[in-house]
Amino acid sequence: MPSYALGIDIGGTFTDVVVYDHDTGRQWSRKVLTTHDDPVRAVVTGVGAILGDGALEARHCTRVIHATTLFTNALIERKGAVAGLVTTAGFGDTLEIGRERKFELYDLDIAKPEPLVPRNRRLEVAERMSADGTVRRPLDRVELAVAVDRLAAAGVGSIAVVFLHAYANPSHEAEAVRLIAERHPEIFTAASHEVAPEIREFERASTTVANAYIKPLAHQYLGRMARQLADQKIPAPLLLMLSSGGLTHVAEAQRAPVQMLESGPAAGAIAAAFFGRTDSGGDLLAFDMGGTTAKLSLVDGGEPRTAYSFEAARQKRFIEGSGLPIRISTIELIEIGAGGGSIAHVDEIGLLKVGPRSAGSQPGPACYGLGGTEPTVTDADLLLGYLNPDYFAGGTIAIDVAAARAALTRLADTVRLPVISVAWGIHDIVDESMASAARVHIAERGRDPRDYALLCTGGAGPVHACHVARKLGVSRVICPPSAGVASALGLLVAPARVDRVATVGVRLDRGDLGALETAFRGLEDEARDVMGDTGLKLETARFQRLADGRFLGQGFDLVVDLPDGPYDGGDRDTVRRALTLAFEAAYREKFSLTPPDVPVEFINIRVAVRAPVAGSEVVLQGRARRGASPVKGRRPVWFPETTGFVDTIVYDRARLAVDDRFAGPAVIEEEGSTLVVPPRAGFVVAPTGNVVVTLDA
């Protein structure tokens, strides 16, 4: 009996759906425009189309994995629930005060991000917990009841509960959640000890409030998604991609949907690491460009880098401190508003700019013919000859070339330049924006882009990849099969993952190693329970221990890998030395030097548990030669190397065979994306099926 895996990735412009047959290695994919008023509708349309076109039976779908940008967009667009906050007396302004530092020192008109909960819905109650977890003042249940009733009367759909030092003793928060459930069972709750149980009140409050803000939306959306898939006779349970690049089940995602804020970009990074491992040696720049945004992440040794905090909804996209701090595990990446739908415009001093505003899927670029009139990157790429209007998204979307030309002509008249010059300017500006952001991101991590290959995914990624690579000094570009839906494919190879954190505050030179081991085991047991709910066999799980460490007296932490436990057996001095050396090695790698004779302390400890999902094997194998020529035709394509149009061969990706080797310029088309190979470059089809481009060959 066949066994299919179904991957669903909802982006800002397109919803990608992929079905993979694990028995034959065959796959089916479909891109449909995202329906922002009801994202589930696009999923139902895409799944139905794939099952119908492939004559596939829904009952043979044994896995369904989903990633979405819905929750991130809800934060950015402020379209979450009406939320309230209950906090310790005297701390109602924590969200407003933040860290009291300006993200732009000399900006007199600086605008900090508005808190998700306004002051009139941030209520304080009497209670106090010490930093060591002892109760200094019991929770005033009467005052709490009054506060909760006031919030309910104000129409809140969700309440965040953030009490001082709840990471050390969560009893007051747990009591408050019980009281809210008793008095107003229809109101969702989010307690900080369940969402971000670690020190630093502002970050903990910000993360918990964000969770409360999107929780009603997540509960409704994920429940409806599961029901719709069941209505289509798909028996497999729904699994969700987390920002960390792992999978979890619906109940866990509904409990803490803040963990899914970066699920879509995470899927792209996981896909890049998987598809590029063989042909890059494991070190690559994962470049994912879709209809709304472009993302880039570093992959070292076959694994994307992991961060343990990020900022959502930044006021200034590249400036730290201008967004809402979120304390979750996430794949480390940069993201800019540069996608196929990014709108080109002239600023107040007459310069051509592109993005971050996007036409999205509604109304979409002018060429979609859905009401969009402003010029976008896709419109420019169409006039430059990079895209085939008769084969856009596999021919499922009708393209209006005249509308694209009209939109660009209006912009060209404004700047008094030829239309093609403006089209190339749009393309070049977007590429430079991505390359500039990538340079900073790579340099901050002490890396040299020339040591990496660039792997491109997304509907627009392969169009722009070679030009971005040249700007970065990268000599190799890798384009995997089905690059346009690679994020959805990444869902199918991702492991299940659970991350847990706790604050401990242990000095390694004199701390209690037995207590440290007990804390780690507690986190591992908690993670094991969540992993068990996915239905996976726990004997396949891999447990990783980490810690947020620092030298005594420092004001910042460094997350480092630790040796496996246990830490409470054998020679304690040997264990202390091993833990200290693990931290010092990581510190030295980042900062080159360590201070002499300064004790190390662990502020937080972390556990990351991964387990491979049964039946997640995806075969990387190129096509053997079957006689048919891969040449599809020819068309004029504009290249800056020739400052004009060049009659260029167009190849059909589906007919390229392993070891096929051709010189650029060339255009390689497949259903969901188009790879543009410039002059002075060549490409070969690797045994994995990847197209490997060598620039300046």
541 and 561 part of one domain? yes
Dihedral (C-alpha) 479, 482, 483, 488: value to the nearest 10 degrees?
-140
User: Strands 284-289, 453-457: parallel, antiparallel or unpaired by DSSP?
Assistant: parallel
Q: For the segment 221-240, what is each residue's pLDDT rounded down to a tens digit?
A: 999 999 999 888 999 888 89
Looking at residue 604, its pLDDT comes to 95
Does pTM surpass 0.85? Answer: yes
State what percent of residues in the chain have pLDDT above 70.
97
Buried b (16+ CB within 10 A) or exposed e, 630-660: bebeeeebbbeeeeeebebbbbbbebbeeeb
Query: Does 396 reside within a domain?
Result: no
Asked, for residue 290, whether it belongs to a domain, the answer is no
pLDDT in tens, 35-84: 888 889 999 999 988 888 767 888 888 889 999 888 888 888 788 999 99
Does 232 lie in the same domain as 105?
Answer: no
Q: Over the Cα atoms of the chain, what is R_g?
A: 26
Span of 122-131, 443-452, 512-521, 547-556 with lowest mean pLDDT:
443-452
Which residue type is seen at 14?
F
Token duo for residue 44: 């139902």
What CATH number corresponds to the domain at position 529?
Answer: 3.30.1490
CA distance linking residue 164 with residue 340, whole number of Å: 45
Q: By three-state DSSP, how is residue 88 classified?
A: strand
CA proximity to 6, closest of 283, 235, 173:
235
Identify whether residues 589 and 665 lie together within a single domain. no
Nearest to 214 by CA among 269, 256, 152, 244: 256
Write the CB contacts of 275 (distance below 8 Å, at least 6 apart in sequence): 455, 478, 480, 486, 489, 620, 688, 690
Region 530-537: what's the mean pLDDT? 72
User: What would the DSSP string read from start to end of 404-460?
Assistant: HHHHHHHHHHHHT--HHHHHHHHHHHHHHHHHHHHHHHHHHTT--GGGSEEEEESSS
Please, what is the angle between helix 486-493 and helix 263-280, to 10°? 80
Say if residue 178 is exposed, middle or buried (CB neighbours under 10 Å; 0-12, 13-18, 19+).
exposed
**pLDDT confidence of residue 194:** 95
Q: How many domains does the chain have?
A: 4
The whole-number pLDDT of residue 536 equals 61
211: phi then psi, degrees, rounded to nearest 5: -65, -45
b/e code 561-590 from CB counts within 10 Å (16+ = b) = ebeebebbeeeeeebbeebeebbbebbeee
d(CA 344, CA 404): 12
Whether residue 264 lies inside any domain: the answer is no
335 vs 560: which has the higher pLDDT:
560
Three-state DSSP class for 676?
strand
The reply to whether 434 falls in a domain is: no
User: 196, 86 in Cβ contact below 8 A?
Assistant: no
The two three-digit tokens of residue 282, written as one number: 């494991």
Cα–Cα distance for residue pair 535/537, rounded to 1 Å: 7
Domain shared by 105 and 195, yes or no:
yes
Judge whether 229 lies within some domain. Answer: yes
Q: Is residue 311 part of a domain?
A: no
pLDDT band at 539 (very low <50, low <70, confident <90, very high): low
Angle 161-166-167 from CA coordinates, rounded to 5°: 125
Say yes or no: 592 and 650 in one domain: no
**Half-sphere CA count of 567, side-chain side, radius 13 A:** 22
Share of the chain above pLDDT 90, in %: 56
**CATH number of the domain that residue 40 is part of:** 3.30.420.40
Q: What is the pLDDT of residue 691?
A: 95
CB 515 within 8 A of CB 615: no
- Please state the three-class secondary structure of 17-80 as a single string: EEEEECCCCCEEEEEEECCCCCHHHHHHHHHHHHHHHCCCCHHHEEEEEEEECHHHHHHHCCCC
Instruction: Measure CA 38 to chain center.
Output: 21
Task: Count CA atoms within 13 Å of residue 75 on its CB side.
Answer: 29
In this prediction, residue 218 carries a pLDDT of 93
Domain of residue 54 covers 4-75+220-258
- Rounded Cα distance between 578 and 562, Å, is 9
Tens digits of per-residue pLDDT, 289-327?
A: 988 888 899 998 888 988 998 888 777 766 777 788 999
CA-nearest of 667, 645, 681, 652 to 383 is 645
Confirm if 248 and 259 have CB atoms less than 8 A apart.
yes
Examine the pLDDT at 635 and tell me if it is beyond 90.
yes
Measured CA to CA, the distance from residue 79 to residue 82 in angstroms comes to 9
Handedness of CA 632, 635, 638, 642 (dihedral sign): positive
Residue with tokens 């660009």: 408
Q: Please indicate, yes or no, whether residues 251 and 131 belong to a single structural domain of this protein.
A: no
Q: How far apart are CA 255 and CA 232, in angstroms?
A: 26
Quick check: 2 and 23 in contact, CB under 8 A? yes
Residues 31 and 158 occupy one common structural domain: no
Question: Of the candidates 611, 640, 656, which is a domain's last residue?
Answer: 611
Structure tokens at 29: 């994919």
Does residue 549 sit within a domain?
yes
| CA quadruple 41, 42, 46, 47: dihedral sign | negative
- Average confidence score pLDDT of the chain: 90
Whether residue 620 is predicted with pLDDT greater than 80 in this model: the reply is no
Same domain, 554 and 651: no
What the block records as the tokens of 74 is 């809800």
Task: Calculate the CA dihedral of residues 413, 417, 419, 423 and round it to 10 degrees.
Answer: -110
Q: Which of 214, 246, 270 is the last residue of a domain?
A: 214
> pLDDT tens digits, residue range 578-616?
999 999 999 998 888 999 889 999 999 999 998 887 666
- Same domain assignment for residues 125 and 199: yes
Which pair of tokens denotes residue 673? 């994306």
CA dihedral (472, 474, 476, 481) in degrees, to 10, reads -30
Of 545, 580, 611, the one marking the end of a domain is: 611
CA dist., res. 575 & res. 462, Å (int): 49
> Do both 592 and 502 map to the same domain?
yes
Sign of torsion over alpha carbons 49, 55, 56, 57:
positive
Residues 502, 596, single domain; the answer is yes
- pLDDT given for residue 489 in this prediction: 84
8 Å CB contact between 273 and 230: no
Does 177 fall in a domain?
yes
Render 620-661 in DSSP notation, one character per residue. Answer: --PPPP-S---EEEEEEEEETTTTEEEEEEEEEGGG--TT-E
Average pLDDT over residues 4-27: 86
User: Do residue 579 and residue 665 come from a single domain?
Assistant: no
DSSP 527-591: HHHHHHTTT--GGG-EEEEEEEEEETT-S--EEEE---S--SSS-HHHHHHHHHHHHHHHHHHHH
